[in-house]
Amino acid sequence: MPLSTSSFERTIPDRPWPRLALVAASLALLAAIAWEARVRTWGYAPTLNDTSDLWAEQRGRVQPDSYVIIGDSRPHFDLDLDELERGLGQRPIQLALDGSCAYPVLADLAADGNFHGTVICSIVPGMFFAPGGPLIANSEKALKRYHHWTPAQRASHQLAMFAEEHLAFLKAEELDLPSLLARLPISNRAAVHLGPALPPYFNVIDRERRARMWEQAALAGPLQTRIKEGWIPLFTPPPPPSYLPQDVFLKGMGAAVEKRFHDTAAAVQKLRARGGRVVFVRFPNSGELRKHEDRLTPRIGAWTRLLNETKAPGIYFSDHPELAAFDCPEWSHLSAPDSVEFTKRLVPYITRALSTPAGG
């Protein structure tokens, strides 16, 4: 028996739809204005989000002979591109990623057969030798975006940058609803242990990904205190998982670190074979964080071994009084004015390091 068919017509109620649309749009606009005013009273200002799209755009600008900066947030904050261009004769590409491990990006550049430029690589041993977790994931997320960036994502990125440069409340991972909910003061429970709180957003970023510390973070006050209080927990390794015997866990960690040394040396050698150069840099830290890092990862350990095995030059800030003279106001990064002066003083050491023969 054939199925019966019937026509269906939805009746649209007779309402003053244009006026209702105007009221809805007006309410949305008023709410946006109110939220924008509120977040500005909290100290936020319009600035770009440091997204994987912004990173991918800069990665796409890398030329075969480019100078490239990779690493964690310290070279992101502490290096001034104008001073580097003035001293090196070429404007570097800023590819450092906050809260990341530099190794995946180093390996990606080594695997790029067209690249034979210069890599300035920041080393924070506790981050560079991380075997996995969020530090690796942050780098891999950016690399995935670069290698699989679609035209739609590129167009969306251009529109987003225009909006972010004018509206303070468009601060992803800080002022969106999931981030605000994640910052609710919820205590640990029997089966749930929360990770350490991330530091608040305390810098501005331009289209070249040059980060500059907010003035409020460079001054003693609630924001600076909140940032300082977050570093020690974040730089403290988590306890071994309860489901693994401690000796098994330590053995696995040791094997992962050994592999990172081996893979890093191989990546540096691959770049060097094409005429590329790598210089490792240990950027300034201060206060209790410096004591904490030096205790967990002393210089004589990972840093010394890394230079020995890669035969690459290294610049350790505390070796040079003019580099060690800077104080990080929140213990981990330089203020915007100090970053310019620090870069100016660092350039001669970079030039000297790059002129030293491998292993010299």
Tens of pLDDT, residues 168-198: 888 877 887 777 777 777 766 666 556 666 6
- Indicate whether 4 pLDDT > 90: no
If you ran DSSP here, which 8-state letter would residue 207 be given?
T
Residue 189's φ and ψ, nearest 5 degrees, are -120, 180
CATH 1.10.8 fits 49-154+201-354, yes or no: no
Task: Output the CA torsion sign for 176, 155, 97, 266.
Answer: positive
- Indicate whether 1 pLDDT > 60: no
Q: Give, for 341, the enclosing helix (H) or strand (E).
A: helix 336-354
Q: Are residues 76 and 191 in contact, defined by beta-carbon separation less than 8 angstroms? A: no
**Distance from chain centroid for Cα 233:** 18
In the chain, domain spans: 49-154+201-354
Q: Are residues 284 and 323 in contact, defined by beta-carbon separation less than 8 angstroms? A: yes
Spatial CA neighbour of 300 closest among 282, 320, 285, 283: 282
Task: Output the CA torsion sign for 196, 200, 204, 205.
Answer: positive
Tell me the pLDDT of the chain averaged across its residues: 90
10 Å CB burial of residue 87 (0-12, 13-18, 19+) is middle
Q: Are residues 133 and 100 in contact, defined by beta-carbon separation less than 8 angstroms? A: no
pLDDT of residue 89: 95
Give the dihedral of Cα atoms 275, 262, 353, 292; nearest 10 deg: 150
Q: Are residues 207 and 61 in contact, defined by beta-carbon separation less than 8 angstroms? A: no
Residues in the chain: 360
Report which of residues 46 and 173 the model is more confident about. 46
pLDDT of residue 5: 60
Task: Output the CA torsion sign for 212, 51, 257, 309.
Answer: negative
Residue 227's φ and ψ, nearest 5 degrees, are -65, -45
- Indicate whether 328 pLDDT > 90: yes
Q: Are residues 339 and 69 in contact, defined by beta-carbon separation less than 8 angstroms? A: no
User: Can you name the residues that pair with 279 across neighbouring β-strands?
Assistant: 120
- Indicate whether 241 pLDDT > 70: yes
Q: What is the pTM of this model?
A: 0.88
Pairing of the two strands 93-94 and 67-70: parallel
pLDDT in tens, 282-327: 999 999 999 999 999 999 889 999 999 999 999 999 999 999 999 9
